[in-house]
Amino acid sequence: MSNAPVTLRTAKDVAKRRAHSPHTSMFMRMLIRAAMLRRGRAASALLAMIVAAAVATAMMNLYVDVQAKLRTEFRNYGANVVVVGKDGQALPREALRAIESALGTQPLAVPFGYAVARTSDGQSVVVVGTDFSRARQLNHWWNVNHWPAGSARSDASTSGLSASLPAKASDETAAPKRRRNAAHGVSRGPAPETMPAPEERQNIPVEALIGVRAATVVTPTRQPFDLSFQGKIIRLVPAGLLQTGAGEDSRIYLDQSEFENWTGVAPTTIEVAVNGSPDEIQQGIKRLAAALPTADVRPVRQIMEGEANVLNKTRATLYASATLVVLTSALCVLATLIGWVFDRRRDFAIMKALGASERLVNGFFAAEAAALGVVGAILGFCIGIGAAAWIGRANFHAPVVPRFTVFPYVLAGSIAVALISAVLPIGLLRRVQPAIILRGE
């Protein structure tokens, strides 16, 4: 940066500008010219400010948003609230709708009805009526090789429960993670003639989801089979196998309306996944209990406490990390800006030598720092939002929502750091005679 041509051009510029705009205040002109003439240094100070503001924005944004993101992940553990009829009674017909209206924000509620049926050779097996499309959304961990058609074929008018359900039981919406069992193949041929033909057998076989352990008992060859409940016999076609490693493996799952047509048993349990913080879930439970006085609403403690535990630890770690990162970047800005201001001690000395008051000089450097802080904060905020969105996409496959509430903090922080880094060197310089600085010592 050679000085001589700059001075010449400056002199010309100044003369020209004075002719055109005689009323521009000296203060503003000094601010602008200072930034223009030392573009390199000003740019590096601004860059540090922008990077720091961006990192701080991204961290704060993540900290606020990650909890919501992780909660969504934790909902993959399934229901955190269970609604059961008091003393084993069936739930009222409108229970599912009552739950949905009580919670408002589209909770995932899955009804389950249970009955014990007998196989043709007299073994007891638990049969469950449920809504497949909902169960599939709630229980992501169910390893199912092929989901039955579900409520698509059922007569919606016969059941108040399935009437309100979305009939989107297509198999491709959320393909099971592992199709290892698909190789078994599912026989859907005509019923073998060896079975007895009782009077009440239904004409169309019903598709069922068979737990892996139940399958070895009721239909080892994956053939259609009969089950009886209080003398009523149903013919079931194994549509798919279900593996969970828990009680579900010994059960047979049917569509809710088919199950009710056959057994007359209404749902006794509704599993609900309530989203939100522990407080929101507690309130949700209270609302549910008020909406369904005949039912028992219980939190699933295993799920709720595990979630709270892991989430708290993660949040604390993230908080510590974000604090460290923000502090480091503030430090970076501080170092750069102090260097920048210190570097301009000659400007400071000249201003004082020309008779500028202490207040004016301080005001000048403070205004400069504040301007730098504002510009840096705005640009850094935009970049930080982008960075947080990218992290969200890369890690959670969903963008982090920009939180504009973070902006005031970033802005205030930037200005504060900029001011501190301007005031510190000024305080040191004030004690030095301008003459000494100008002599270059």
- Chosen residue from 46, 103, 110, 125 binding another protein by CB under 8 A: 125
User: What 3-state class would DSSP assign to 240?
Assistant: strand
- Chosen residue from 67, 97, 229, 342 binding another protein by CB under 8 A: 342
Q: Output the smallest distance, CB 394 to another protein, in A.
A: 7
Sign for the CA dihedral angle at 192, 195, 197, 202 comes to negative
Stretch that binds another protein, among 1-9, 19-27, 229-237, 287-295 (CB under 8 A): 1-9
250-289 residues near another protein, rule: CB under 8 A: 250, 268-269
- Chosen residue from 192, 247, 264, 363 binding another protein by CB under 8 A: 247
Residue number with CB closer to another protein (128 or 419):
128
Tell me if 179 contacts another protein by CB under 8 A.
no
Tell me if 116 contacts another protein by CB under 8 A.
yes
49-108 residues near another protein, rule: CB under 8 A: 51-52, 55, 58-59, 62, 66, 69-70, 73-74, 76-78, 84, 88
Can you read off the two tokens belonging to residue 229? 């409940």
| Cβ–Cβ < 8 Å for 262, 234 | yes
Residue number with CB closer to another protein (277 or 328):
328
Residue number with CB closer to another protein (165 or 425):
425
Can you read off the two tokens belonging to residue 239? 């549509």
> DSSP letter string over 265-331?
PPP-EEEEE--S-HHHHHHHHHHHHHH-TTEEEEE-HHHHHHHHHHHHHHHHHHHHHHHHHHHHHHH
- Chosen residue from 339, 386, 399, 434 binding another protein by CB under 8 A: 339
DSSP-based helix, strand, coil % in the chain, nearest 5: 60, 15, 25
Tell me if 110 contacts another protein by CB under 8 A.
no
User: What 3-state class would DSSP assign to 242?
Assistant: strand
- Chosen residue from 67, 114, 163, 201 binding another protein by CB under 8 A: 114
Sign for the CA dihedral angle at 319, 325, 328, 330 comes to negative
Tell me if 399 contacts another protein by CB under 8 A.
no
Q: Output the smallest distance, CB 59 to another protein, in A.
A: 7
Tell me if 24 contacts another protein by CB under 8 A.
no
- 79: number of Cβ within 10 Å: 22
201-220 residues near another protein, rule: CB under 8 A: 213-214, 217
- Beta strands (DSSP E) in 339-418 are none
Tell me if 13 contacts another protein by CB under 8 A.
no
Instruction: Identify which of 54, 58, 66, 60 has the alpha carbon closest to the alpha carbon of residue 398.
Output: 66
Q: Mask 26-45, x = binds another protein (CB under 8 A)?
A: ------------------x-
Alpha-carbon gap, residue 243 to 108, rounded angstroms: 21
Burial class (CB in 10 A: 0-12, 13-18, 19+), 47: middle
Alpha-carbon gap, residue 140 to 123, rounded angstroms: 30
Q: Output the smallest distance, CB 78 to another protein, in A.
A: 6
Instruction: Identify which of 71, 409, 43, 107 has the alpha carbon closest to the alpha carbon of residue 271.
Output: 107
136-155 residues near another protein, rule: CB under 8 A: 139-143
User: What 3-state class would DSSP assign to 232?
Assistant: strand
Q: Output the smallest distance, CB 147 to another protein, in A.
A: 16
Residue number with CB closer to another protein (92 or 306):
306
Tell me if 244 contacts another protein by CB under 8 A.
yes
Stretch that binds another protein, among 94-102, 154-162, 240-248, 254-262 (CB under 8 A): 240-248
- DSSP character at residue 92: P
- Chosen residue from 14, 36, 331, 435 binding another protein by CB under 8 A: 331
Can you read off the two tokens belonging to residue 358? 């202490």
298-327 residues near another protein, rule: CB under 8 A: 298-306, 309-310, 313-314, 316-318, 320-322, 324-325, 327
Instruction: Show the DSSP H helices in 142-273 as ranges.
Output: 160-163, 212-218, 256-263
Please work out the total of residues on this chain that contact another protein, with binding judged by CB under 8 A: 84
